[in-house]
Structure 1
Amino acid sequence: MKFGTSGLRGLVADLVGLPSRAYALGFVRHAMALAPQTREVLVGRDLRSSSLAISEDCRAAIGYTGLTAVDCGAVPTPALALEAIRRGCPAIMVTGSHIPDDRNGLKFYLPHGEISKADEAAIAAQVASLGDAVLDSLSQAAVGKDLQTLSVNAAYVARYVDVFGPQSFAGRRVAVYQHSSVARDLMVDILRGLGAEVAAFGRAAHFIPVDTEAHEPEMVGYIAEIARTGQFDAVVSTDGDADRPLVADETGVIMRGDVLGLLTAKLLELQTIVTPVTSGSVVERAGGSGEVVRTRVGSPFVIAAMETAAISGKAGIIGFEANGGVLLGSDAIWQGRALTRLPTRDAMLPILACLLAIAKWEKPLSAIIGDLPVGYALADRLKDIPSSLSQDFLDQISQDVTFSDAYFKTVGGIRAVDRLDGVRFSLNDGSVVHYRASGNAPELRCYVEAQTKERAVKLLSWGIEAARTQLNSKQTLHIQR
């Protein structure tokens, strides 16, 4: 198990039982060291098959410390974070986000919001310091019989309905792809609460790992089929824990996550944009007169940069990632009403921003996006790649100039290299190829950007196959050794 781009991740077999209890205990001890007055910890979960058992392990660990574990049930991650901030208490979310059902994870929240990289290190140190006697008694700790529960979903719905107004989406028709998103019913409630006519599709009886960044062909086809009916202004969905959105326009074309974030910033007139290096250069081209701050991939890095911006006196702060998750770093004003800051990834805000944009600018979503100089950006991944193998490849292509020049010879010369997170190559024609290892799963990700769709498609296909060839040769060499 390890901390990834957002939270702790691992195989279910490595999480259930004592490991989850140990990390929950480490987190609670860290939270109590920061705020000794802490009396309760909220616990939420997504809908994957192992999440209930792991949430019970977390509640047992919280009870072991003498604090009250409050079970919030199945809840979107941003809704849990919002309630933790409101109550001024820590929270634990059991979720693996978009990764397969044989994996899961934990996300931790302090009273001010999502934990930082420094907090991750402190939690890991707490876990490492647990002695055998503590671990033995922790493994036998029982979940309290007097279960305290709390529903936080209504407050999350009200957050948006109260600010944007019950008739904001009057006349809009929206398709909701429900699958196994923990927000599958809340999406419908919020959209209907804002006046939209909603049709729900694809509710799943088992967990489906929907990745909002690297789209599976089956999902793309399903969403296009819904859109082809011509009945909807948009097709919307989220990943498993509802911190990443998925939005397709009225033609069924899925919008890029960075474009969703940019559209949200424009709609709410937020001028300080914080986004990782995986977001496209459209952010600078269409970001207006505001400031754009680039970070490494992962919400802790985005949050840290947003906090720095706030300390320096910046206003109108928004963060977003290429996966579409939007983080509100300062209050936003909509028609005189304040949408309070929520510094964790949220899927609903960019979904709602798209529909608000349709009403405000009186254009279909495809035309609104067509007005932005978005270019074409695509992403894919090579699965089941050990992190050590990915790192060997990244080290070589980043540091060996002779190798990288030969590697890119067939697709264009290298103009610039950015090593902030993975390695990002800008080619002579303005195209981009970016490789990085996933922080959440054993995957090597490839991101490309080009001026035409044809160039982007070819570049992504080449980027994946070229990396596959190199990784296969490295794996063969490793086996021979």
Structure 2
Amino acid sequence: MKMAMQYRIADLMETSGVRFGTSGARGLVAAMTAEVCHAYAVAFLQAVPAKAGRVALAIDLRPSSPAIASACVAAIEAAGLKADYCGAIPTPALALYAEAEGIPAIMVTGSHIPFDRNGIKFYSANGEITKDDEARIRDAIVTVPDSGVTAPLPAPNDAARRAYLQRYRDFFPSAFLAGKKVAVYEHSSVARDLLRELLEGFGAQVLSLGRTDAFVPIDTEAVSAEDVAQARRWAVANSFDAIVSTDGDADRPLIGDENGDWFRGDVTGILCAQYLGAGAVATTVNCNTAIDSCGAFSRVTRTRIGSPYVIEGIEQLLAADAGTVVGFEPNGGFLVGSPLTRSGRALAALKTRDAVLPMLSLLALAGENGQPLSALSSRLPARFTASDRLQAFSTARSRALIAELTASSAAIEDFLAGLAGKPVSIDETDGLRIRLDSDEIVHLRPSGNAPELRCYAEASDAARARHLVEECLKRVLAFGGTTAD
């Protein structure tokens, strides 16, 4: 007879491989068993109690997500609580609803990571859990019963989706997209139908592209060459004003102009912050330096990479009374730190990554200026960023490589010899960010969500930034790297 099992989450992390990264607990689908997911949900409810008797729950469109959610339902019910199941909706929609209702929330999503992985994001009634909350979950000791570790998903409650749509209907002018043709690269984004409804409500003609029932992991920070080429082909074939998309759980946007050229997420963030009239911005260390040189913001705080750190930066700016505060990551995910008003229309704070606000803001900005989307970047200093990653690259190997380079400037010079200038300074806030005497930047960093090594670069020319990334990743492998996890 199977017995109830007691687990310490920290030990379960080691045995299962399902661990906290920069955005929730993630692991291989095969490792995210009902018992493991049930244990995580129990630990979360111990660390972040549900005072209102309910826990909001939602999923993305990964085929593994419903089974994980059913383990979370069982854990919620075992705690004497009700699972307020919101169906398949964007992560920011769930976060907005949970905060308004004063209840914690669980989002089952692997966001942009590969198909064979998934994850769970946790929210308190005040927003994303903190690193202190993570520590309490990690230290929790939980009991998983010998039966009943899963439960059927309740009928979906549509209130969260409706409230999310209303947030933007109240803030943006009605029919501001009248006469515009907007393509939606739908793939397997959980927001694909919601986006059509929202854009058509603002008067746009919406063209659906690339819809699929098979899950497609779209990384808005490292857009694939295939997606770059496909968007340009679609632009030629369909003659639209913009193309928009999101990652799997719709907390990161992908925005393209009338030529099908995708905006970098940090450029999107800067332009969105300008449109909203923000006075202060919290962003990550790898953000384009145009945010500093554009002169639009009184304060810019740079943090480690990951939304919990951006939220900490937002809180610091709010404590310093820095005015209207927003935050964003170079993946395009945008956070509203304080309530703001534009043209008499109010927008409440939402301190979690969101994809919809930046895409609507850029469309509105282009419309107000009477410009095509492609002209918006001309508002910023000519600084260009690029990024890519080595997948299935051991985290241990990434850290060893960075430690070896950090040990001496000579090692960095050898690594970059013939490719870039000499190092002027290094920043170890998150990984190794090297500023060169050529006024270029190269940044190497292990991913916090998967066994990947990411490389970011910045230069005064887009092609040069891409070249730096491509060559640096080649040199990582030649330097003794391995793609074996």
TM-score normalized with structure 1 length? 0.94
Spell out, residue by residue over 1:141-200, the C-alpha distance to the aligned partner (whole angstroms, 9 max, x if none): 45268x364112111111101221321111211000000000000111111111111111
Q: Secondary structure in 2 aligned to 1:435? A: strand
**Within 1, Cα distance between the matches of 2:399 and 2:28?**
21
Q: Secondary structure in 2 aligned to 1:377? A: strand
Spell out, residue by residue over 1:374-402, the C-alpha distance to the aligned partner (whole angstroms, 9 max, x if none): 42211011111111111101111112333
Q: Corresponding residue for 1:9?
A: 26
- Check whether the contact 1:262–1:287 (CA below 8 A) recurs between aligned residues: no
Residues 1:164 and 2:150 aligned together: no
**Within 1, Cα distance between the matches of 2:221 and 2:369?**
27
- Check whether the contact 2:397–2:482 (CA below 8 A) recurs between aligned residues: no
Q: Corresponding residue for 1:123?
A: 137
Gaps of 5+ in 2: 1-17
Residues 1:452 and 2:466 aligned together: no
Residues 1:180 and 2:177 aligned together: no
- Check whether the contact 2:58–2:94 (CA below 8 A) recurs between aligned residues: yes
**Within 1, Cα distance between the matches of 2:155 and 2:199?**
30
Q: Corresponding residue for 2:15?
A: none
- Describe the shift of the 1:56–1:250 C-alpha distance in structure 2 as closer, same or farther (beyond 3 A): same
1:442 Cα deviation after fit: 0.6
Q: Corresponding residue for 1:101?
A: 115
Q: Corresponding residue for 1:356?
A: 364
Q: Residue 422 of structure 2 aligns to which amino acid in structure 1?
A: G
Aligned residue pairs total: 466
Residues 1:294 and 2:302 aligned together: yes
Q: Corresponding residue for 2:13?
A: none
Q: Corresponding residue for 1:74?
A: 88
**Within 1, Cα distance between the matches of 2:167 and 2:363?**
16
Q: Residue 96 of structure 1 aligns to which amino acid in structure 2?
A: G
Q: Secondary structure in 1 aligned to 2:145? A: helix
**Within 1, Cα distance between the matches of 2:297 and 2:184?**
35
- Describe the shift of the 1:257–1:136 C-alpha distance in structure 2 as closer, same or farther (beyond 3 A): same
Which of residues 189, 214, 225 in structure 2 aligns to 1:217? 225
Within a 5 Å distance, the mapping from 1:108-257 to structure 2 comes to 108-126=122-140, 129-130=141-142, 134-137=143-146, 139-143=147-151, 147=154, 149-151=156-158, 152-229=160-237, 231-257=239-265
Which of residues 18, 38, 41 in structure 2 aligns to 1:21? 38
- Check whether the contact 2:74–2:148 (CA below 8 A) recurs between aligned residues: no
Q: Secondary structure in 2 aligned to 1:252? A: coil
Greater Cα shift, 238-247 or 223-232: 223-232
**Within 1, Cα distance between the matches of 2:23 and 2:364?**
29
Q: Corresponding residue for 2:58?
A: 44
Spell out, residue by residue over 1:255-291, the C-alpha distance to the aligned partner (whole angstroms, 9 max, x if none): 0101111111100100111000111111111142421
Gaps of 5+ in 1: none
1:444 Cα deviation after fit: 0.3
Q: Residue 23 of structure 2 aligns to which amino acid in structure 1?
A: S
Q: Corresponding residue for 1:425?
A: 434
**Within 2, Cα distance between the matches of 1:143 and 1:98?**
27
**Within 2, Cα distance between the matches of 1:190 and 1:71?**
22
Q: Residue 336 of structure 2 aligns to which amino acid in structure 1?
A: L
**Within 2, Cα distance between the matches of 1:194 and 1:465?**
46
**Within 2, Cα distance between the matches of 1:203 and 1:334?**
34
Q: Residue 10 of structure 1 aligns to which amino acid in structure 2?
A: G
Spell out, residue by residue over 1:126-148, the C-alpha distance to the aligned partner (whole angstroms, 9 max, x if none): 1xx22xxx2234x5345268x36
- Describe the shift of the 1:250–1:68 C-alpha distance in structure 2 as closer, same or farther (beyond 3 A): same
Q: Secondary structure in 2 aligned to 1:284? A: helix
- Check whether the contact 1:78–1:344 (CA below 8 A) recurs between aligned residues: yes
- Check whether the contact 1:389–1:474 (CA below 8 A) recurs between aligned residues: no
Greater Cα shift, 365-374 or 386-395: 365-374
Residues 1:30 and 2:30 aligned together: no
**Aligned-pair identity (%):** 43
TM-score normalized with structure 2 length? 0.93
Spell out, residue by residue over 1:438-480, the C-alpha distance to the aligned partner (whole angstroms, 9 max, x if none): 01111000001111233223212211111111243798xx9xx
**Within 2, Cα distance between the matches of 1:412 and 1:242?**
38
- Check whether the contact 1:69–1:148 (CA below 8 A) recurs between aligned residues: no
- Check whether the contact 1:275–1:319 (CA below 8 A) recurs between aligned residues: yes
- Check whether the contact 1:64–1:141 (CA below 8 A) recurs between aligned residues: no
Greater Cα shift, 221-230 or 335-344: 221-230
Q: Residue 85 of structure 2 aligns to which amino acid in structure 1?
A: D
Which of residues 284, 287, 294 in structure 2 aligns to 1:279? 287
**Within 1, Cα distance between the matches of 2:219 and 2:482?**
28
